[in-house]
């Protein structure tokens, strides 16, 4: 279903969820859960947003049923550790490429996706200071390197 413009802020989290449906369904589930909670805060009044959010809720309930035997879903404390480990692994991969002077689309995407996953971590509660810094750094790095490559410059 098309994303209403009022919910644009969760577009990339939902795309990350789709990208992980096969690769890592736990990441998909919590990306959609974050999108659901954030979407309800953004706009749950207008008909098109309500319709979108009801469909998203249907999908979450189905995923929870299908993944009921997965501890990362049945116990949120385990889910929290899963998402945090996944975000850190992605961040460290991109950071390692950056420090090695290897700039490419994949490392930019890894920086950006890790920053989205640090957003997702907020469903479990307040972010740690380290995670807040990682998110800020990862999002800045993705933007900076992307702009350098667009302008034909070598990132410092």
Partner 1 sequence: TGSLGSSVASAEQDELSQRLAKLRDQV
Residue 50 CB, nearest approach to partner 1 (Å): 5
Residue 46 CB, nearest approach to partner 1 (Å): 8
Q: What tokens appear for 100 in the block?
A: 């090695």
CB closer to partner 1, 45 vs 99:
45
Which stretches of the chain are DSSP H helices?
11-19, 25-42, 47-66, 71-74, 76-99, 105-120, 129-150
For partner 1, the binding residues (CB under 8 A) are 33, 36-37, 40, 44-45, 47, 50, 53-54, 57, 60-61, 64, 76
CB closer to partner 1, 24 vs 43:
43
Residue 44 CB, nearest approach to partner 1 (Å): 5
CB closer to partner 1, 53 vs 138:
53
CA 1 to chain centre: 19
Residue 67 CB, nearest approach to partner 1 (Å): 12
Total residues found in the chain within this entry: 156
Angstrom distance (rounded) from CA 56 to CA 4: 13
């Amino acid at each position: 279903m098309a994303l209403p413009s009022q919910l644009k802020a969760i577009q990339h989290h939902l795309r990350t969820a789709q990208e992980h449906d096969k690769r890592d369904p736990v990441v998909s589930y919590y990306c959609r859960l974050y999108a659901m909670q954030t979407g309800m805060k953004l706009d749950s009044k207008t008909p098109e947003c309500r319709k979108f959010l009801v469909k998203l809720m249907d999908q979450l309930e189905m995923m929870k049923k299908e993944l009921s035997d997965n501890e990362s879903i049945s116990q949120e404390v385990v889910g929290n550790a899963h998402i945090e480990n996944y975000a850190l692994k992605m961040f460290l991969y991109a950071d390692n490429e950056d420090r090695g002077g290897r700039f490419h689309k994949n490392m930019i995407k890894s920086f950006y996706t890790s920053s989205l996953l640090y957003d997702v971590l907020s469903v479990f509660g307040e972010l740690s200071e380290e995670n807040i810094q990682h998110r800020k750094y990862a999002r800045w790095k993705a933007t900076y390197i992307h702009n350098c490559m667009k302008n034909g410059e070598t990132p410092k």
